[in-house]
Amino acid sequence: MQTILDSFESENHLLESNVYQYLLREKVEKILVACSGGADSVFTLLLLSAYQKELGFDLEVAHFNHQWRGADSEKDAQYVEDLANALGLPYHYASAELGQSVKTETKAREARIDFLRKSASELGVRVIAFGHQMDDILETQIQRLGRGSSIEGLIAPRPIHIFENGPTHIRPILNYTAKAIKQSLNKHGINWCEDVSNNDERIVRNKLRKSIIPQLSEWMQRDVSEGASRSRKLLEEDANFLEELAQERLPACYKLETKLDRLLLRSEKHSLSRRAFLYWLHRINPDFVPSARLQEQLISAIYGERFREKFSLGDTFIVMNKREIWIEKD
């Protein structure tokens, strides 16, 4: 395995530039690598392993078994454990209980993220690495455009996502396409696990990946994934600027004051008031995640002409009068 890592280094495989600078600047001591056994996460693990000496961090490996594919799921878990052992890295495992495995992509992701964050907390790790690559960007953008996402939705997946109350998420291989990753692994004779469910085109993401995006690239005679990656970077620059401006113009939202000045929010552009208000709402009431429809209703109400509004947030209410906005308990 060390020979493989040496060859990775000799070929000058590069971490995504923002991730490299973050690890260097923050002097990260340990990273928990989420590894499914698929090509992307295996490449992520090997690439980070090749940078351990240069950047001075330790690695630990985590695998969550969703119990979706019976014996194949067990084989994936064993493969990841064997790979971690070959690299001399600690391995952490959890699985959904038999008969209680989640069957939707959203619920599966929530279970996996919950395991990773709990593991990171127990291990004292403040950075988790994920294997998202360049092709994932356009797949995500198309799905979120269909749902009417804001700019925050369209800049995902980010190379670095810092959470105030949890570990930072890094994505070190957003600069690689799926094709380039598999070519590199094949060149070095490295196997990976294939999830046959990824061939099921009844799943939207699979349909995009296997049929729609390749056709789009053919029609446009260019790699549309590279174009989407560049757009994501430009959008993130704009989003960061808007966030800085919102913090400057609407500081009460970011100081988590119990009451907000509705007139001040109304005086700003929608793009600033929306991000500041939604930040405040999430931090004041973190257990409730408003739907996109409710978010739009709330923003419209701020700018509306009615002097008093009241919206249910589960066990609390958000109340507006002519001048102020606040939260009331049920």
d(CA 201, CA 189): 29
Residues 284 and 188 in one domain: no
Q: Which residues pair with residue 88 across a beta bridge?
A: none
> For 72-118, what is each residue's pLDDT tens digit?
889 999 999 999 999 999 999 998 765 455 567 777 788 899 999 99
d(CA 259, CA 322): 13
User: Which runs of E-coded beta strand occur in 236-290?
Assistant: 259-261
> In this structure, what DSSP letter does residue 188 have?
T
Residues 317 and 176 in one domain: no
Do 11 and 48 touch, CB atoms closer than 8 A?
no
pLDDT at site 106: 74
Residues 134 and 79 in one domain: yes
- 25 falls in which pLDDT band (50, 70, 90)? very high
Q: 189 in a domain, yes or no?
A: yes
Residues 199 and 71 in one domain: yes
Count of domains for the chain: 2
- Count other C-beta atoms under 10 Å from residue 300's C-beta: 11
Residues 201 and 254 in one domain: no
Domain harbouring 54, CATH code: 3.40.50.620
> For 259-315, what is each residue's pLDDT tens digit?
999 999 999 999 999 999 999 998 888 877 788 889 999 999 999 999 899 999 888
Percent of the chain with pLDDT over 70: 94
Do 268 and 250 touch, CB atoms closer than 8 A?
yes
* Of 20, 328, 3, 42, nearest in space to 181 by CA: 42
User: Would you state the torsion angle of the CA atoms of residues 299, 150, 233, 241, taken in this order, to the nearest 10 degrees?
Assistant: 0
Q: What is the mean pLDDT of the chain?
A: 91
- Count other C-beta atoms under 10 Å from residue 286's C-beta: 9
> For 160-188, what is each residue's pLDDT tens digit?
999 888 999 999 999 999 999 999 999 99
Residues 89 and 199 in one domain: yes
- Half-sphere exposure in the Cβ direction for 58 (13 Å, CA): 11
d(CA 98, CA 134): 34
Comparing 60-69, 133-142, 214-223, the range with the smallest average pLDDT is 60-69
Only one residue has tokens 């690239």, namely 217
Residues 201 and 144 in one domain: yes
> For 45-65, what is each residue's pLDDT tens digit?
999 999 999 999 999 999 999
Q: 260 in a domain, yes or no?
A: yes
17: containing domain: 2-220
* Of 162, 164, 142, nearest in space to 153 by CA: 142
- 330 falls in which pLDDT band (50, 70, 90)? confident
Q: 237 in a domain, yes or no?
A: no
Q: Which residues pair with residue 64 across a beta bridge?
A: 94
Do 280 and 256 touch, CB atoms closer than 8 A?
yes
> For 143-158, what is each residue's pLDDT tens digit?
999 988 889 999 999 9
Residues 296 and 175 in one domain: no
Does the pLDDT of residue 3 top 90, yes or no? no
Sign, CA torsion 317/154/159/60: positive
d(CA 188, CA 182): 10
Q: 271 in a domain, yes or no?
A: yes
d(CA 99, CA 163): 33
Element (H, E) at 31: strand 30-34
Domain harbouring 301, CATH code: 3.30.465
pTM score, two decimals? Answer: 0.89
Does the pLDDT of residue 30 top 80, yes or no? yes
Do 98 and 225 touch, CB atoms closer than 8 A?
no
- 6 falls in which pLDDT band (50, 70, 90)? low
Residues 257 and 201 in one domain: no
Q: Which of 181, 198, 220 is the last residue of a domain?
A: 220
The 324-329 sheet, strands edge to edge: 259-261, 324-329, 316-320, 309-312
